[in-house]
């Protein structure tokens, strides 16, 4: 088959795609410019549903998401979850994507607003939310290959999206030496 490229002209929010999730209803692209959603409807024989602009939808911070800088996306049969580089995690109903519930570090219980990954287990219905913050210190040793950093990792697995509670996220912190 032929290889095809899809970009800004096709309906993609940004060429910087950070995560992709495919469900039975749509494809979700988390980009550094927002969320792009493709709901494939068949076109003429032999043409890809990605080729039709009407199949693409952009969802931006101005539409209720916490940020356009998305890092992760996952969809369940009922909801779409997005993680951001700097503004927490948000969830919306998969059929409308109009109203987003946002969870942030300030007041929302997240240890950090940087969310690196979201996953959903379709067999058990579990949702994973995870993130990390790291501070890399300037050169502390007389070695070009060694560095020291401090980190905070957080995450938890919830039994279904309705049971998500940011206050139940667990965290670990430490110091790392890399060489």
pLDDT tens digits for range 99-116:
998 888 887 667 788 888
* Beta carbons within 10 angstroms of residue 87's beta carbon: 22
The answer to whether the beta carbons of residues 40 and 46 sit under 8 Å apart is no
pLDDT at 38 over 70: yes
Q: What is the pLDDT of residue 71?
A: 92
pLDDT at 52 over 70: no
Of the listed ranges 61-70, 88-97, 156-165, the one predicted with least confidence: 156-165
- pTM recorded for the entire structure: 0.68
Q: Tens digit of pLDDT for each residue in 8-20?
A: 767 788 888 999 9
pLDDT band at 73 (very low <50, low <70, confident <90, very high): very high
């Amino acid at each position: 088959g032929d290889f095809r490229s899809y970009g800004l002209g096709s309906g993609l929010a940004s060429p910087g795609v950070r995560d992709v999730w495919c469900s039975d209803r749509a494809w979700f692209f988390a980009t550094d410019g927002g969320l792009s959603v493709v709901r494939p409807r068949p076109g003429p024989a032999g043409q890809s549903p990605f080729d039709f602009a009407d199949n693409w939808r952009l969802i931006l911070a101005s539409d209720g998401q916490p940020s356009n800088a998305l890092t992760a996306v996952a969809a369940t049969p009922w909801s779409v979850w997005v993680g951001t580089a700097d503004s927490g995690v948000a969830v919306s109903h998969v059929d409308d994507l109009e109203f987003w519930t946002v969870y942030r570090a300030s007041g929302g219980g997240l240890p950090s607003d940087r969310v690196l990954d979201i996953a959903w287990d379709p067999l058990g219905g579990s949702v994973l939310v995870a993130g990390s913050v790291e501070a890399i210190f300037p050169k502390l040793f007389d070695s070009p290959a060694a560095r020291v950093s401090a980190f905070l990792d957080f995450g938890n697995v919830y039994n279904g999206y309705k049971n998500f509670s940011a206050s139940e996220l667990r965290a670990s912190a430490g110091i790392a030496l890399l060489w």
